[in-house]
Amino acid sequence: MRTVIICLLFFFKIFGEFSWSLPSKILSPAGSNASSPQVKMDNYGNVICLWLRSYAGKKRIERTISNDYGVSWNDNVFITSETIDVVYFKLAMNDSGQISLCCQPDPGMFGSNLYAYYSIDYGLTWNYSTSLDDSADNLSMSMDKYGKVLVAYDRVTNIMVRVSSSYNGGKNWHIGVHDTTGDRQIAKIVMNDNNQAVLLYQETFFAKLCRSYATYTTSWHFSSEFIFSEAAPGGDLKMNDSGFVIYSSCKSGVHNESVELHSTDAGENFSSLYYLSELGFYVQLDSQRCAIDQNGYASVVWEIFDGANNIVQERHTTDYGNSWSESCYLSEEGQSAWDTVISSDKFGNTFVSWYRSNGTNNIRQVRWTLDKGNTWSEILDASEAGQNAGVGDMAMNLTGYVMLTFLRSDGSHHLVNIVTGSWYDSSIGIKTNLIKENIDFFLTRELICNLEWNDNPFAVKYNLYKDKDLTILLSSTTKLQYPIHNAKIGNRYFLTWEDYMGEQRDKTTIFVK
């Protein structure tokens, strides 16, 4: 009788956990105030952080870059000249090293010049492109992986929204590829990597939300305007590559209410207004932020006033907006939370950050979910106590890295700080427990090892190899287990997980004992 002996591999923890580089690093120079930090990151570890810094009586845009996920940083360099006193800027970045930057001085009552800059080497060097307009305000910007850029802004002198475009990362521009009718303002624009764009803006006098959607062939073609909702303008707008769109905003009223609109056809049709916040709580205007993945998941956050303090709330959907979770309180009660930001990757891993007083100082905090909102981490203090932290920005890529930047005082000036979060790879050997049920095992010498492992939220697939050089592939699978037949005691196997960019990580050695 031939008996198969089963060797069970008991899994302890194979892929580590999420970790943060604390304490934070200071990026901006001491001795002068910085403000308005923004951060972008591609999927290969290239990071750029920009901020405004007071220098010789003017606020100029300053940058630093990293090409190793924030481990080391380049010297700081001013992008704008001393002749421009910048008050506002936006930037967009793709994986090919293209970065587009638009900025403006104080718009005042009649708008201001809108200046465009670009980089083709991940932000190392910069070039001035052109002035897009001389009466711009309320800037919104989006860029796809091919280097197409769309910028939407109010043209104050005409009381209308204008869209300008670039097809080469912001180097050259086509000004006014789309103009709305008059009495329109406060635009939001977003595009995906499938030549689709959505434009939302407000009808000035009746406060109605308007929309137009666009497709790209050899140029952008915008649809006619459609007036469809009473949701307030100036919210947050996201779209994925399948055309799933989320718009989160605030509807003014007795209490103000957090609302959302969604589309599954790249903005051609939108849902009716859906109320996210609970009745009886006052929602802070312009606190709504949203994030989206590639498979029907979206998360919306906002700040409510409970009668004493601001608290960050969250709701999410996993079915393209058809149903929504119950409200989740992310920040603690007892002190107010402000300046909430959110970021998500294509898998639905989501990170939310805000600053909140500890009774003495404002502390930048962060929480995250790696299972689409089913569970949330404990609150992490990203800034140190002892000095106030303030406004911030966050970027996330598809390989398990997060960049969180924020202002923090050094006692004299506000400086830009940054922390890096990452999925920490750790190779832990897997132990086996051999069960000998029959002496025939010593004749057949056949062993079946059922290898199991925990899910890695950033893995596209898992690869099992027979050799340490990773050349003899046994299996490439999205499953979390694999039966190894004809295993021998003393055999070694090697398990890796593969990220979205095709890089194999965390080679773990498995011994059969």
Can you give the three-state secondary structure of 200-231, one letter per residue? EEEECCCCEEEEEEEEECCCEEECCCEEEECC
Q: 10 Å Cβ neighbour count for 182? A: 10
Domains with residue ranges and CATH for the chain: 5-13+426-511 (2.60.40), 232-381 (2.120.10.10)
Query: Is the per-residue pLDDT at 254 higher than 80?
Result: no
Q: Give pLDDT tens digits for 323-374.
A: 999 999 999 999 999 999 999 999 999 999 999 999 999 999 999 999 999 9
Q: Give pLDDT tens digits for 166-209.
A: 999 999 999 999 999 989 999 999 999 999 999 999 987 667 88
Mean pLDDT of the region 392-404: 94
The span from the CA of 451 to the CA of 430, in Å, is 9
Q: Give pLDDT tens digits for 50-97.
A: 999 988 889 999 999 999 999 999 999 999 999 999 999 999 999 999
Mean pLDDT of the region 227-235: 76
Query: Residue 46's Cα: distance from chain center in Å?
Result: 15
Residue type present at position 252:
S
What residues does 312 pair with on adjacent strands? 303
Q: What residues contact 308, with CB distance under 8 A and at least 6 apart? A: none
**What mean pLDDT value characterizes the chain?**
88
What pLDDT, on a 0 to 100 scale, did the predictor assign at position 446?
A: 57
Residue with more model confidence, 254 or 12: 254
Residue with more model confidence, 8 or 21: 21
User: Rg (Cα) of the chain, in Å, rounded?
Assistant: 26
What pLDDT, on a 0 to 100 scale, did the predictor assign at position 429?
A: 36
Output DSSP code: residue 146: T
Query: Is the per-residue pLDDT at 9 higher than 50?
Result: no
What residues does 102 pair with on adjacent strands? 90, 116
For residues 201 and 180, is the Cβ–Cβ distance under 8 A? Answer: yes
Mean pLDDT of the region 231-244: 88
By C-alpha distance, which of 443, 436, 483 is closest to 2? 443
Q: Is 443 helix (H, G, I), strand (E, B) or coil?
A: helix
Q: What residues contact 344, with CB distance under 8 A and at least 6 apart? A: 291, 292, 293, 297, 299, 350, 351, 396
Continuous H helices in 380-500: 441-444
The span from the CA of 302 to the CA of 286, in Å, is 8
Q: 10 Å Cβ neighbour count for 465? A: 21
Q: Is 195 helix (H, G, I), strand (E, B) or coil?
A: coil
The span from the CA of 400 to the CA of 18, in Å, is 9
Confidence of residue 279 (pLDDT cuts 50, 70, 90): confident
Query: Residue 509's Cα: distance from chain center in Å?
Result: 33
Token pair of 367 as six digits = 């929480």
What pLDDT, on a 0 to 100 scale, did the predictor assign at position 444?
A: 54
The span from the CA of 291 to the CA of 247, in Å, is 10
For residues 371 and 325, is the Cβ–Cβ distance under 8 A? Answer: no
DSSP annotation string for 262-289: EESSTTSS-PPPEE-SPTTSEEPTT--E
For residues 292 and 246, is the Cβ–Cβ distance under 8 A? Answer: yes
Q: Report phi then psi at 444, rounded to 5.
A: -80, -35
Confidence of residue 1 (pLDDT cuts 50, 70, 90): very low
**Count of CA atoms in the C-beta half-sphere (13 A) of 467:** 5
| CB-based burial, 385-424: b 16+ in 10 Å, e otherwise | eebbbbbbbbbbbbbbbbbbbbbbbeeebbbbbbbbbbbe
Percent composition of the chain: helix, strand, coil (DSSP 3-state, to 5) = 0, 50, 45
Please state which of the ranges 200-209, 241-250, 411-420 shows the lowest mean pLDDT.
200-209
Q: Give pLDDT tens digits for 117-169.
A: 999 999 999 999 999 999 999 999 999 999 999 999 999 988 999 999 999 99
The span from the CA of 455 to the CA of 423, in Å, is 12
Sign of the alpha-carbon dihedral angle for 150, 156, 157, 159: positive
Q: What residues contact 472, with CB distance under 8 A and at least 6 apart? A: 465, 466
Q: 10 Å Cβ neighbour count for 313? A: 24
Tokens 């006014």 correspond to what residue? 176
The span from the CA of 81 to the CA of 511, in Å, is 61
The span from the CA of 104 to the CA of 426, in Å, is 46
Mean pLDDT of the region 266-270: 95
Mean pLDDT of the region 460-473: 90
What pLDDT, on a 0 to 100 scale, did the predictor assign at position 447?
A: 64
The span from the CA of 68 to the CA of 58, in Å, is 32
Query: Is the per-residue pLDDT at 485 higher than 80?
Result: no
Residue with more model confidence, 468 or 30: 30
What pLDDT, on a 0 to 100 scale, did the predictor assign at position 505?
A: 85
Query: Is the per-residue pLDDT at 4 higher than 50?
Result: no
Mean pLDDT of the region 381-397: 96
